[in-house]
Amino acid sequence: MARIVQKYGGTSVGSVELISKVADRVARLFHAGNQVAVVLSAMGSETDELVAMAHEAAAEPDPREYDVLLAAGEQKSIALLAMALMDRGVPARSYLGPQVSIQTEARHGTARILNVQCGQLEADLKKGCVPVVAGFQGVDDRGNITTLGRGGSDTTAVALAVALDAAECQILSDVDGVFTTDPRMVPNAQLMRRVTFEEILEMASLGSRVLQIRAVEFAGKHNLPLRVLPAHADGEGTLITYEEPDMEAPLVSGIAFNRDEAEITLMNVPDRPGIAHRILAPIAEHDVEVDMIVLNAPKDGRVDFSFTVHRSNYDRACELASQATDGLDGVAVIGNSQVVKISVVGVGMRSHAGIATRMFEALAGEGINVRMVATSEIKISVLVDERYLELGVRTLHEAFRLDVTRQ
Amino acid sequence: MARIVQKYGGTSVGSVELISKVADRVARLFHAGNQVAVVLSAMGSETDELVAMAHEAAAEPDPREYDVLLAAGEQKSIALLAMALMDRGVPARSYLGPQVSIQTEARHGTARILNVQCGQLEADLKKGCVPVVAGFQGVDDRGNITTLGRGGSDTTAVALAVALDAAECQILSDVDGVFTTDPRMVPNAQLMRRVTFEEILEMASLGSRVLQIRAVEFAGKHNLPLRVLPAHADGEGTLITYEEPDMEAPLVSGIAFNRDEAEITLMNVPDRPGIAHRILAPIAEHDVEVDMIVLNAPKDGRVDFSFTVHRSNYDRACELASQATDGLDGVAVIGNSQVVKISVVGVGMRSHAGIATRMFEALAGEGINVRMVATSEIKISVLVDERYLELGVRTLHEAFRLDVTRQ
């Protein structure tokens, strides 16, 4: 018997038939003696349809009204699930964001949760009633409906689970869990049974397919066990906790990757204090996110300064970098927008040297040139030519024995 | 310059394109210097679709959740209209039932409005902002969403117009106004320019095609001018007030009718006190509504007692009437479920005798037998065989000169 918050994604509640299946699943969990609270997204493509309507109604939809419109999506799904549960003899009750209440910043489209008042939900759980809460939405201090941004339902679920002191927050969707790498690229990618918060954050490109990174951060901050599992299939999914893997576990947990990277290098930049700031400040000011940053050791008072941005920002970033170094003699800006980033991630590598060595060795063995390297305590990322993406991922997946079934 | 509450029905906001047209219309009214508040129904068949989903999700949908589900309909339409208005440079702001707030009984599906707190709306109107309010929905004293029942948006509009002390409440839909009789039956039926609250209430069968009778009662009680007019066409529609027609106006305003009536007669009932109660009480207890009631003068200590019910209640009412008179010797229950009611209505008939005479004369001239008669101060209704419905309506429409264009 435990207190569990379950969140079902849009695809999992895409029709009344699927909502009925969700009701069966929740009913089983409830009848097994658990206290269950459910958070739902809007049904299937409902949100997309509402977005399309907004853009048909107004050239630039007002943000407040946009949120009112979008919030109607979850209102439908929670009412339908609550009635389906009651139809199965499970006491249930739907709650909209303002009814819980889930209080957010007074900001539309991407509001952050400030506070969750779940006294009524607590009372429901204690008396054996299943609260069914609208994900993605909240209310600001003046009673306006706000939304949390795409994928915000995950954050709603985690915030509720934390406020209700739940034993576990389960994110149910149409995927089986988090894999050692993208199964579409490496067919023998393995489902990870356990993974740490730190790892999942470093593997954003893998994790973000199944849950919102903001929700992972929130859960990590409050040490709330998060589980990713399939909504309409059997399987224990992937449990995300702070627990470190045991001795037998592999050093590397997964291979993440980011397509659509672009690399910009400023050659022969004078090596003097503040030069990095002079280059990056205007880029940051223009809301261009910089990922990897590499500064080589100086040679003859000059350094090569490299960084990566998302490919969509490549032209802009090149231009800003040129402007920033305009008037600096001998500096050349060169770039490459056909690169990708591959990362090996694992808390196990913390205490083990040699991961980088094995990584470079494996890549070299396939003739893959490493253009840039960035390291963190539990991640090593390399930038390689786009054409080596699949080969690189497969090579590393094999090199670190991730294709072997783990417990 | 005036303060006007406009309510647009579901068909009038059935698509984003139509909502855009509504926005154009509201913008014109606003730019002409008026203070405008708008109440909307859900888009087109949205409510029907939600109802169908509810019945797919649960055999007997929980009433509270049913209301949460249905209320999502208006949430969409108000957000879309508000953003469309802002897109046209008209300051606007959407309000859900709980946001206004529209406080109702703690009762789902058919809640009555108890109170409207429209301080925020008042402030909006004064500063030149158009509040766009969700019709049909409210909130009970514990924060639960309630709905007012089908057509409840009319009531929302009238309640707001009363609370805001509006000059006029306009009900805009896909009909041109209220006609002297059903134009589908009598092609030369005339649009009534003006009609009184009393008349429209007596002509429920005509009026209910364009607005909810509960809203008319509400408006009448508060002497709020109501206007029924087309949403997407020109025309002044029909103004409903307490004003009596002038001397030149016809005595009769319209010919109303009710299909699907059924007549039950108890023959030879002993004429003693309490007999009507003995017959009707069990029928009322079973929620069967009785319309016309006729009791003839007694003959030899016996009377014939007749009443009408809706055809769908005919069998039940016959059975209840038989049970009620079981044990009374010589009583026979006979009935006819193939009858209809035709009524002539007009405040002008108050001060004029001879309306009934002219009515019976006209019907007799066509060989139409009158089976039952009921009169009120401004209405005379007759029950006739179903096959005479069209002929009877046309005959009376002509007899009272309603086919002549009025000012």
Q: Which residues of B touch A78 (CB under 8 A)?
A: 68
Interchain contact B94–A (C-beta under 8 A):
yes
- Displacement of CA A351 from its chain's centroid (Å): 26
For residue range B170-198, what is the model confidence (pLDDT) as tens digits?
Answer: 999 999 999 999 998 999 999 999 999 99
Comparing CA positions, the residue from B203, B202, B229, B197 lying closest to residue B216 is: B197
Q: Which residues of B touch A94 (CB under 8 A)?
A: 64-65, 68
Residue A221 DSSP one-character state: H
Write down the ipTM of this complex: 0.84
Maximum Cα–Cα distance across chain A:
79
Closest residue of chain B to A76, computed from CA coordinates:
B69
From A67's Cα to the closest Cα of chain B, the distance in A is 8
Q: What is the C-alpha to C-alpha distance for residues B74 and A9, in angstroms, rounded to an integer?
A: 24
* Touching B: A residues 69-88, CB under 8 Å: 69, 71-73, 75-76, 78-84, 86-87
Which of A19, A50, A145 is facing B57, going by the closest CB pair? A19
Hey, are the CB atoms on B57 and A99 less than 8 Å from each other? no
Q: Which residues of B touch A59 (CB under 8 A)?
A: 87
What's the pLDDT score for residue B406? 58
pLDDT at B212 over 90: no
From A372's Cα to the closest Cα of chain B, the distance in A is 48
Q: What is the C-alpha to C-alpha distance for residues B359 and B375, in angstroms, rounded to an integer?
A: 12
CA distances from A193 to A239, A406, B338 (A): 6, 8, 72
Q: Where is average pLDDT lowest: A88-102, B96-110, B244-258?
A: B244-258
For residue range A298-313, what is the model confidence (pLDDT) as tens digits?
Answer: 888 888 889 999 999 9
For residue range A40-56, what is the model confidence (pLDDT) as tens digits?
Answer: 999 999 999 999 999 99
Residue A349 DSSP one-character state: G
Report the 10 Å Cβ neighbour count for A392: 24
Comparing CA positions, the residue from A94, A291, A188, A289 lying closest to residue B58 is: A94
pTM of the prediction? 0.86
Q: What angle do CA B369, B372, B375 make, to 5 degrees?
A: 120
- Range B241-247 average pLDDT: 73
Determine which of A18, A26, A38, A68 to mutate to test the interface with B (most B C-beta atoms within 10 Å).
A68
CB pairs under 8 A between A and B: 119
* Tokens found for residue B103: 């406080």
Interchain contact A120–B (C-beta under 8 A):
no
From A235's Cα to the closest Cα of chain B, the distance in A is 26
Intervals of chain A under pLDDT 50 = 407
Q: What is the C-alpha to C-alpha distance for residues B167 and A268, in angstroms, rounded to an integer?
A: 77
From A60's Cα to the closest Cα of chain B, the distance in A is 7
Q: Which residues of A touch B109 (CB under 8 A)?
A: none
Interchain contact A183–B (C-beta under 8 A):
no
Sheet with B302-310: strands ordered across = B290-295, B302-310, B254-270, B332-345, B379-385, B372-376
Q: Which residues of B touch A82 (CB under 8 A)?
A: 62, 65, 68
* Tokens found for residue B272: 């003693």
What's the pLDDT score for residue B407? 45
What's the pLDDT score for residue A206? 72
Hey, are the CB atoms on A54 and B79 less than 8 Å from each other? yes
What's the pLDDT score for residue A407? 46
Q: Is B133 helix (H, G, I), strand (E, B) or coil?
A: strand
Q: What angle do CA B82, B86, B90 make, to 5 degrees?
A: 105
What's the pLDDT score for residue B265? 93
